[in-house]
Amino acid sequence: MYYEIMDTSPERIFAFLPKLSLADKALINHACEFAKKAHEGQLRKSGEPYYNHVFATGINLAKLKMDADTIAAGIMHDVLEDTQVTEQEMTEAFGEHITKLVQGVTKLGKLRYSGLERHVESLRKFFVAAADDIRVVVIKLCDRLHNIQTLEYVDKEKQKRIALETIELHARLADRLGMGRLKAELEDAAFPYVYPEEYKKTVELFNSMQPISDDQLDKVVAKLQDDLSVFDVQIERIDSRIKHLYSLWKKLQRYGMDIDKIYDVIALRIIVDSVSDCYQALGVIHGLYRPIPGRFKDYIAIPKANGYKSLHTTIFTGDGATLEIQIRTKKMHEEAEFGIASHLSYKEIGKNLSEQELKRKTGWTKELLEWQKDVSHHAEFLKNLQADFFQNRVFVFTPKGDVIDLPEGSTPIDFAYALHSQIGERTAGAKVNGKLVPLDTKLNNRDIIEIDVKETAMPKRKWLDFTKTTLAKRKIRQYIRENGGFLDKFLTR
């Protein structure tokens, strides 16, 4: 079977990390030699050396700017599982920290969807690893990226299952961790295997459309550069991006597959020095071009659930075209591309990111572990996983302006329990944007929620019918279970 010969020299990894120290380079070199020797004689289904796969995992980690320890662990991630090397031998060669990362990946095993319920225990292991050290998840995602990019060599009957798992689990995890580039690469590689007809249709629509021309784009960029400099906006650079195919298909579904209703197939990204430059640039752009009503989004003031920050606006260029423009700082851009990976180097923690901030960004993994302890049915576990952690989010405010992040479809009861279980239990009513509303009202982005608390109030069984979050449902059930006899007598009066 033919395969492309891969250059596996460590210099390819170093090229993505120009600031690597000599000690870090030596560590990665050592990991490459160790893994190559351990996997000697092993072949992939393509016929290529197995080492090519683990080296490609190291390349993917380097593209995310991960630290040398994590890259070394990624290069050796299959050594303990697929070779004769022991944990003791690896610890002696690389120390406990790197060995622990490799062990974490090994313990995940081979995740499978064969019917969505049979392998929930494997999913539980995944989140245990995530809560223990999120680097393990990043290694696993980079491993999966290369696997899905070489899926053509896998048996036909397995291709769809592996690709579906990639979209439903791995890409969702990458998204939840804010790793936009990795999420898109996983989805696009899996797309043709999971939805082949939809993939073909999307490619046809993409090829048939007539977005803004290169000349029009160059004209807009030149004008923006001139006028932004006049207003002293410090521009790092202006890039363009083309929307990924899977993302385009998902958006087309919302608009009845009408390509003419999609405005962001091509977008400009303006990278500036500071937050104030972002808003200054927005004012300049709206002064130059007429914005399309309803297309402005401020993700700086209200970031997405995964931490994404940027200003988005869509303009009429004046010559028949429309164009989305995204404005963000260099730090925002790095976080949008690499997500949590941009913070995970042990050298960065304590320097550019506190331990507390890292825990906040990854705290949802521990929250997931907490509620999954009370879930006994596999189907319920998967349903709650999709509802609480992998679906669209809404951002609402307390009266003091604190932002609360909830799943789409949440109600004031979910909001109350997100604040504190005692507030949830004593909820008597709610106001949304200053108006009294029923407790089953669905919350929208930017709503300001005020909970009316009374000592005589208590959870009611009917709340379970319209609460969205697993936390709220669990606390309500727990309260009813502990006070069931009294509540039944009280509620039947």
Separation of alpha carbons 9 and 32, rounded Å: 9
Separation of alpha carbons 411 and 430, rounded Å: 10
pLDDT at residue 4, as a whole number: 59
Domain with CATH 1.10.3210.10 in the chain: 11-193
Active site residue 82: yes
Separation of alpha carbons 279 and 293, rounded Å: 18
pLDDT at residue 370, as a whole number: 55
* Superfamily grouping for domain 392-491: Beta-grasp domain (3.10.20.30)
What b-and-e string marks burial along 472-488, b requiring 16 or more CB atoms within 10 Å of the CB? bbbbbeebbeeeeeebe
pLDDT at residue 391, as a whole number: 57
State which H helix or E strand residue 449 sits in: strand 449-453
Token duo for residue 15:
């090229």
pLDDT at residue 298, as a whole number: 94
Count of other CB atoms within 10 angstroms of residue 373: 9
Which residue reads 């989010």 in tokens? 393
Query: What phi-psi label fits residue 178: left (phi over 0), alpha (psi between -120 and 50 degrees) or beta?
Result: left
Nearest Cα to Cα of residue 387 among 397, 398, 375: 375
Separation of alpha carbons 60 and 149, rounded Å: 12
Which residue reads 């560590």 in tokens? 27
Which residue reads 């070394």 in tokens? 72
Question: The domain at 203-339 falls in which architecture?
Answer: 2-Layer Sandwich (3.30)
pTM of the predicted model, to two decimals?
0.73
Q: Residues 7, 24, 82, 117: which is the catalytic one?
A: 82
pLDDT at residue 16, as a whole number: 93
Per-residue pLDDT 10s for the chain (493 aa) are 445 567 899 999 999 998 899 999 999 999 999 999 999 999 998 889 999 999 999 999 999 888 899 999 999 999 999 999 999 999 999 999 999 899 888 876 544 444 444 445 555 555 665 556 778 888 999 999 999 999 998 888 889 888 988 888 788 888 877 788 899 999 999 999 999 999 999 999 888 876 677 888 889 999 999 999 999 999 999 998 888 999 999 988 888 888 877 878 889 999 999 999 999 999 999 999 999 998 899 999 888 867 789 999 999 988 878 899 999 999 999 888 887 776 665 344 334 445 555 555 555 555 555 555 555 554 555 555 555 555 567 778 888 877 787 888 899 999 999 899 899 999 999 999 999 999 999 998 778 999 999 999 999 999 999 998 888 988 898 898 888 644 444 443 3
pLDDT at residue 137, as a whole number: 84
Separation of alpha carbons 66 and 139, rounded Å: 10
Q: Residues 78, 81, 152, 324: which is the catalytic one?
A: 81
pLDDT at residue 38, as a whole number: 95
Task: Look at residue 208 and give its three-state secondary structure.
Answer: helix
Nearest Cα to Cα of residue 298 among 318, 283, 320: 283
Separation of alpha carbons 194 and 159, rounded Å: 8
Domain with CATH 3.30.460.10 in the chain: 203-339
Beta strands at 266-272 and 322-329: parallel, antiparallel or unpaired: parallel
Q: Is 3.30.2140.20 the CATH number for 11-193?
A: no
Please, where are the H alpha helices in 76-119?
79-82, 87-94, 96-108
Domain with CATH 3.10.20.30 in the chain: 392-491
* ∠ CA 44-46-51, rounded to 5°: 40
Nearest Cα to Cα of residue 110 among 72, 135, 77: 77
